[in-house]
């Protein structure tokens, strides 16, 4: 194999012999391509999962690099290959009304005829199992069953370096009971079953997860591109040229008409063509769409780490960044540096985001559950009371001498991060940070968190103190008042939940199987938030100092009018039990 230097000299020699002239610009471009190929040689990990949709489109690999990874594809016109009588899945035809043969027992697909034959799929819903006490516990499944029948806990020690021992399976130094499912970390699309004949991930008990791109074939025909998640196998959504994410898109490095596009080294989106390396401009800091393997853009949703496994952490977002950063404070008022934060995190946990039919419902995590669900009561104020009762029940059990798994604040932060892993943030970065107190004022979970944490005092708000400065000030004040009130040390205590959540690895195992198709339509990706009728500009509320401290200080909420305060001493915020901001004035003390 020629080195890069030898290759350049060889090109120059051929040029002189043939008497042809190669411009310096063309030569530099060839050298750059050689450098890129050498970098690819160092890392031959082909992310084939990002190119699976090409098979459904009937595309064929046009070129590969030295690693065997695809460089570009050639694709036929999908509309010309569409049959009007049958559905096609993996080169097998299915008549209208026939079920599609799948390995996945949890997904049911069928060929139907609505305007034209196409495939529709539904996921079977499984009940959430109660958490179990013990170490190294895994959900177990019966043969040809979708839902887990229960949990089984096994030892996690390898004896004599054996790869399997009787009724267990061992992979990556983790022991699994018979009936458990194994998800290899190096292949997110591979699912293995722990059977008696287990001998590694290359045996017959492993199979590739089926994304069934054919159910979105109509989107592929429209020129839409799939969006893949870094920690998932199948696409989480599709972006189309007419979608909201590209309304204000400004093409970068768009090819001019005079340039030739016969070599296939360009991507097409809508009516524009783009060079290799070009990116689509979009108002979503979590998704990056770049021209890597033409003719389609490769869109990848960034994965975020879970929050630090410590108490007293506040999550905050920065414009143009996808993942939150955490402001953590230890008991001695010392902050956690970035290294400690990274070491305190474990594997990412992803929960499907529930979609509540009624706007009066709120999303929360019930005791004993790992993922959020819809909590609905006819009266919104009753919903607040229901969640308080749940937290109160959990708080009343704190006297029992059982280890508490996590605080309420951690659960809320975890829920925010888990949802962030699935759904892209469709907020405009310019308006994402309205205040230092709350990045997402429409989130019900953050609103509840501020209600229970007690909010900021009048002095703290007026002085514009940061979350860390507020906590330090409160810590000093509570120490000075400890002799005056027996409750001063407890008033800032965060409520804790009594039930232990599922282990992160166990939760991810269940999630990998059931949440690949959690959103059937793009329009289902909605930001949760309830709306109420607009208030008048003269609407004003007077609160005493105690109630004043429990106000969420937010000036703008989508769907709510921004009030105008006539009295300059009043502030705009959301009082307890309300959804939209209003003018709030503190009551004057009686002499």
> CA 229 → CA 301, 351, 421, distances in Å?
5, 13, 8
Q: Answer whether 581's CB lies under 8 Å from 556's CB.
A: yes
Residue 182, classed as helix, strand or coil, is strand
Query: The tokens 């990556």 sit on which residue?
Result: 172
d(CA 215, CA 237): 12
Q: Could you give the C-alpha distances from 493 to 331, 395, 407, 482, in angstroms and in order?
A: 12, 10, 10, 14
C-alpha 271/C-alpha 252 separation (Å) is 14
Name 476's Cβ contacts closer than 8 Å, sequence gap at least 6. none
Are 509 and 181 a contacting pair, CB within 8 Å? yes
End-to-end, the C-alpha distance of the chain in Å comes to 92
- Burial label for 421, CB within 10 Å (0-12, 13-18, 19+), is buried
The greatest distance separating any two alpha carbons of the chain, rounded to the nearest whole angstrom, comes to 103
Ranges of residues in the chain whose predicted pLDDT is under 70: 1-43, 79-84, 155-166, 244-264, 330-360, 366-372, 377-551, 554-555, 558-559, 566-569, 586-591
**Inter-residue contact 286 to 213 (CB < 8 Å):** no
pLDDT at 235: 95
CA dihedral 482, 483, 487, 493 (to 10 degrees): 10
Count how many Cα atoms sit within 13 Å of the Cα of residue 97 in the half-sphere of its side chain. 0
User: How many other C-beta atoms lie within 10 A of the C-beta of residue 76?
Assistant: 11
Rounded-to-10 torsion of CA 438, 440, 443, 445: -40
Can you tell me the distance from the alpha carbon of 202 to that of 494, in angstroms, rounded to the nearest whole number?
A: 48
Q: Are strands 540-543 and 582-586 parallel, antiparallel or unpaired?
A: parallel
Residues 6+ apart with CB under 8 A from 362: 356, 374, 375, 376, 383, 384, 387, 444, 445, 448, 530
CB of 98 closer than 8 Å to CB of 240: no
How far is CA 400 from each of CA 281, 493, 497, rounded to the nearest angstrom?
Answer: 54, 17, 12
Strand partners, 327: 314
Helix count (H) and strand count (E) of the chain? 14, 26
- 462-486: buried (b, 16+ CB within 10 Å) or exposed (e) per residue? eeebebeebbeebbeebeeeeeeee
In a 3-state reduction of DSSP, which class is residue 153? strand
Please state, in angstroms and rounded to a whole number, the distance separating the CA atoms of residues 129 and 310.
26
Question: Which are the contacts of 547, defined by CB distance < 8 A and separation ≥ 6?
Answer: 575, 576
Q: DSSP letters along 489-533, please? A: TTTTPPPB--SPPPPHHHHHHHHHHH-TTS-SSGGG--------P
Taken as a whole, the chain contains a residue count of 591
Measure the CA dihedral 157/160/161/167, to 10°: -60
Q: Which residues contact 543 (CB under 8 A, 6 or more apart)?
A: 551, 575, 584, 585, 586, 587
Q: Which residues, other chains included, contact 492 with Cβ-Cβ below 8 Å and sequence gap of 6+? A: 453, 454, 474, 478
C-alpha 493/C-alpha 120 separation (Å) is 50
Cβ contact 221:185 at 8 Å? no
pLDDT of residue 478: 52
Q: Looking at residue 45, what is its pLDDT?
A: 79
pLDDT at 463: 47
DSSP state string for 286-317 = TEEEE-SSTTS-EEEEPP-PPPPSSSSEEEE-
């Amino acid at each position: 194999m020629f080195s890069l230097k030898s290759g350049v000299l060889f090109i120059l020699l051929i040029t002189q012999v043939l008497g042809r002239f190669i411009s310096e610009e063309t030569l530099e471009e060839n050298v750059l391509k050689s450098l890129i190929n050498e970098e690819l040689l160092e890392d031959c990990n082909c992310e084939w999962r990002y190119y699976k949709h090409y098979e459904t489109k009937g595309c064929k690999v046009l070129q590969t690099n030295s690693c065997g990874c695809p460089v570009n594809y050639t694709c036929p016109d999908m509309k010309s290959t569409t049959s009007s009588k049958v559905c096609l899945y993996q080169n097998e035809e299915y008549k209208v009304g026939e079920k599609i043969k799948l390995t996945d027992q949890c997904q049911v697909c069928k060929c139907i005829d609505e305007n034209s034959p196409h495939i529709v799929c539904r996921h079977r819903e499984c009940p959430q199992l109660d958490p179990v006490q013990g170490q190294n516990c895994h959900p177990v499944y019966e043969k040809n069953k979708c839902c887990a029948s229960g949990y089984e806990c096994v030892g996690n020690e390898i004896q004599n370096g054996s790869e399997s021992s009787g009724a267990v399976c061992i992979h990556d130094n983790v022991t699994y009971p018979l009936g458990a499912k194994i998800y290899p970390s190096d292949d997110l699309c591979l699912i293995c079953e722990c059977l008696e004949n287990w001998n590694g991930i290359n045996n017959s008990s492993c199979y590739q997860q089926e994304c069934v791109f054919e159910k979105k074939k109509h989107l592929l025909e429209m020129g839409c591109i799939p969006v893949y998640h870094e920690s998932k196998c199948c696409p989480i959504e599709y972006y189309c040229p007419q979608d909201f994410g590209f309304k204000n898109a400004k093409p970068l490095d768009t090819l001019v008409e005079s340039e030739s596009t016969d070599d296939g080294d360009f991507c097409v989106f809508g009516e524009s063509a783009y060079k290799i390396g070009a990116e689509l401009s979009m108002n979503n800091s979590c998704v990056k769409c770049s021209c890597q393997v033409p003719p389609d853009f490769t869109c990848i949703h960034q994965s975020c780490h879970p929050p630090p496994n410590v108490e007293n952490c506040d999550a905050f977002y920065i414009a143009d960044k996808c993942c939150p950063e955490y402001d953590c404070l230890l008991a001695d008022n010392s902050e956690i540096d970035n290294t400690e934060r990274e070491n305190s995190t474990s594997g990412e946990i992803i929960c499907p985001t529930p979609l509540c039919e009624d706007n009066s419902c709120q999303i929360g995590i019930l005791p004993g559950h790992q993922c959020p669900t819809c909590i609905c009561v006819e009266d919104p104020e009753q919903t607040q009371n229901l969640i308080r009762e749940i937290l109160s029940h959990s708080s009343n059990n704190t006297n029992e001498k059982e280890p508490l798994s996590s605080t309420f604040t951690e659960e809320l932060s975890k829920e925010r991060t888990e949802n962030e892993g699935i759904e892209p943030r469709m907020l405009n970065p310019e308006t994402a940070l309205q205040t230092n107190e709350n990045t997402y004022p429409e989130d019900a979970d953050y609103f509840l968190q501020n209600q229970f944490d007690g909010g900021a005092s009048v002095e703290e708000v007026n002085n514009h103190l940061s979350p860390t400065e507020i906590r330090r000030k409160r810590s000093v004040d509570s120490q000075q008042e400890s002799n005056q009130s027996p409750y001063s040390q407890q008033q800032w205590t965060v409520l804790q939940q009594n039930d232990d959540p599922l282990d992160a690895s166990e939760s991810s195992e269940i999630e990998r199987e059931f949440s690949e198709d959690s959103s059937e339509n793009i329009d289902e990706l909605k930001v949760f938030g309830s709306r109420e009728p607009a208030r008048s500009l003269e609407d004003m509320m007077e609160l005493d100092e105690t109630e004043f401290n429990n106000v969420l200080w937010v000036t703008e909420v989508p769907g709510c009018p921004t009030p105008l305060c006539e009295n300059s001493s009043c502030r705009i915020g959301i009082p307890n039990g309300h959804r939209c901001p209003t003018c709030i004035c503190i009551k004057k003390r009686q002499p």
